[in-house]
Amino acid sequence: MMEIDFLKNKGNLESLVAEKGKQSLLLHACCAPCSSSVIETLLPFFHITVFFFNPNIYPREEFFRRLSELEIFLPRAFPEVKLIAAGENFHDNEIFAEKNTGYNVSFNEILGKFSEEREGGKRCENCFYSRMMPTALLAERAKFPFWTTTLSVSPHKNADLINRIGMEIQNAAGFGETTRFLPANFKKNDGFKRSLELSREYGLYRQNYCGCLFSKRKAEDRSKNERPATEASSYRLC
């Protein structure tokens, strides 16, 4: 298995491309700003298909807004990148997962169980898992040799945790060599900064909360006590 954080060990991927040509990768993505710099980083190595699978996003209007932005952004910035969207709201995502991967995700259950958790705790860990597991299963079924997620590009997200979940899914699911998780910390090497630049360049909608009801409430509380925000702090990559 590749060393944790492929950005530290790009030589592996350069050798892979030299030996086998570009491989296909299924990239879980939660919004256009998160996807922007991650796609730019991965594109020299992979044929990318973006998978928008986010039953965590609340409310429905926000879910649809983030999806629409991605549908407009990708053909403009990266026309060679394909997009699979699991539906037009979080309930559709759950149905999609069950139908196409056999995985039964209930985000309301996660929220119910872990509603008191701080951001970054058990609720988020389960939220990552509930989005990464269907991505892995779809990658396996649709024969993508690689899969990964954009989540680590956010400065608010713990890349070690995301990579640990990815490796656990990979090992527990017994995919063998059919599909492999690509560990990375996409915020490194100015990945987050680059996402700001690309978001500005393409005039992307930038949300001010991560996605779920609780993160939305937190953002509303923050804005009540707000000092003038810097650009980087005024929105949240999800």
Q: Does 124 interact with ligand SF4 (rule: CB under 6 A)?
A: yes
Question: Quick one: 125 or 140, whose CB is closer to ligand SF4?
Answer: 125
Q: Which helix (H) or strand (E) holds 148?
A: strand 146-149
Q: Do 62 and 207 form a contact (C-beta atoms < 8 A)?
A: yes
Question: Quick one: 17 or 85, whose CB is closer to ligand SF4?
Answer: 85
Q: Does 53 interact with ligand SF4 (rule: CB under 6 A)?
A: no
Considering only residues 125 through 154, tell me which ones interact with ligand SF4, judged by CB under 6 A: 127
Please name the residue ranges forming H helices in 50-189: 60-77, 90-101, 107-113, 122-141, 159-173
For every residue of 157-212, DSSP letters joined together read S-HHHHHHHHHHHHHHHT-TTSSEE----TTTTTHHHHHHHHHHHTT----SS-SS
Q: How far is the CB of 152 from ligand SF4 (least distance, A)?
A: 12
3-state secondary structure of 77: helix
Tokens (6 digits) for 160: 């070690």
Q: How far is the CB of 76 from ligand SF4 (least distance, A)?
A: 26
Question: Quick one: 152 or 179, whose CB is closer to ligand SF4?
Answer: 152
Q: Does 90 interact with ligand SF4 (rule: CB under 6 A)?
A: no
Q: Does 119 interact with ligand SF4 (rule: CB under 6 A)?
A: yes
Question: Quick one: 123 or 180, whose CB is closer to ligand SF4?
Answer: 123
Q: Does 6 interact with ligand SF4 (rule: CB under 6 A)?
A: no
- By CB atoms closer than 10 A (0-12, 13-18, 19+), residue 110 is buried
Cis peptide before 55 (omega within 30 of 0): no
> Of 204, 211, 235, 237, which one interacts with ligand SF4 (CB under 6 A)?
211
Q: Does 182 interact with ligand SF4 (rule: CB under 6 A)?
A: no
> Of 101, 212, 235, 237, which one interacts with ligand SF4 (CB under 6 A)?
212
**Closest CA relative to residue 160, chosen from 184, 189, 133, 196:** 184
Q: Does 215 interact with ligand SF4 (rule: CB under 6 A)?
A: yes
Site for ligand SF4, rule CB under 6 A? 56, 119, 123-124, 127, 210-212, 214-215
